[in-house]
Structure 1
């Protein structure tokens, strides 16, 4: 799963269906369970993006 709190600067994620590629420029400061934290995995084309 590609959750923002696990992503680090320089990581690259890609959609296996369409090929969309995203590179993390800045790490997220969210902590799971905190108010306002991200809760949904990164997805594209209806499926989770995979780390390259």
Structure 2
């Protein structure tokens, strides 16, 4: 599962269905479980993206 608080600069995530790739340039500053945390895993084409 690709959650933003686990992503580090340089990580690459891709979609196994369409081939889209995203490279992390800056880490997310939210805290997991906090009121300001992101609520959904990174997804594309209706499925979660995978770390390369």
**Structures share a fold, TM > 0.5?**
yes
> Which runs of 5 or more structure 2 residues have no equivalent in the other structure?
none
Give the alignment's TM-score, normalised by structure 1: 0.96
Aligned length: 52
Residues 1-52 of structure 1 correspond to what in structure 2 (within 5 A)?
1-52=1-52
Give the alignment's TM-score, normalised by structure 2: 0.96
> Which runs of 5 or more structure 1 residues have no equivalent in the other structure?
none
Deviating runs (4+, > 6 A) in structure 1? none
